[in-house]
Amino acid sequence: MDRQELADFLRSRRERITPADVGLPAGPRRRTPGLRREEVAQLAYISTEYYTRLEQARAPRPSGEVLVQIARALRLSDAERDHLHHLAGTPPGLPPGPSREVRQSIVDLLHRLPQAAAIVTSAACEVIAWNDLAAALMEDFSALSRRDRNLIRRAFLGPHPEGRRLYGVSDGEEFAHSSVQQLRAASARYPDDPEVRGLIGELLSGSEEFARLWAAHDVTARPTLCKSFDHPVVGLVTVNCDVLDIADRDQRVVIYTATPGTPSEEALRLLAVVGTQRLDVPG
């Protein structure tokens, strides 16, 4: 355990966080930048005396649980969390489960793409952020429960009776296969996460096809570069599909764009205006 390096690292991380970042009032007479030691201790559920001793390089080695609480209080990235564990001489454990917290900069990016439908998915295939055009093209995710926003659950267990026609998309079968491979890889990264284990158990018991694909142990999925949505209002929309990895959160940004000058581009423009309004469509 490198006490001095640990102390310096904690101090540097504490000083970069403002009270507003963690929902605390700034208050008067704040002489130093960032949070006070007692505020970090309060957020980490440890004593102020112990945290102060850590920053003074006088404390004994903190437990793994205490380090996790401090990392959460200081809003450390995964790399910083691992570094904290190494400084304390405690091997870092795996993240407890797939991150569902999307960086604000990524959320802002989605809404700065008015001509593209974009979503963010977790390692467990849950849609955790989206822009307005994605809601118009695919489904109004804000109207769904968190459970129903999981794409792999919907692909194999419904609720749509057409099964593979997930959100009216053309490559439902291909997506179903690749999502199994993604979930297989995620289960190796988060072997003890109860939500991941529960999702796998639910799929194994509810879908023979999932069970068959799961038994293949495949983990390499080919990217889908183009797909089509059969939209009830604007008809067939063919889009390019690009995926950007957010490595530090184990998340993916999926961006759907139409080729300029095509009917699909016009359809997306119309959807940007129509949004998620329910319009009468001839049956």
User: How much is the pTM?
Assistant: 0.67
Q: Where are the alpha helices (DSSP H) in 89-219?
A: 104-111, 132-137, 151-157, 172-189, 194-206, 208-215
Does the domain made of 3-88 have the CATH classification 1.10.260.40? yes
Residue 164, pLDDT above cutoff 50: no
CATH of 104-274, one of 3.30.450.180, 3.40.50.1000, 3.40.50.1820, 3.90.1150.10: 3.30.450.180
- In 3D space, the residue among 257, 167, 179 whose CA is nearest the CA of residue 222 turns out to be 179
Hey, where are the domains in the chain?
A: 3-88, 104-274
Chain segment 100-146, per-residue pLDDT in tens: 889 899 999 999 998 999 999 999 999 999 999 999 999 899 998 99
263 vs 171, residue with greater confidence = 263
Among 162-166, 217-221, 241-245, the least confident range: 162-166
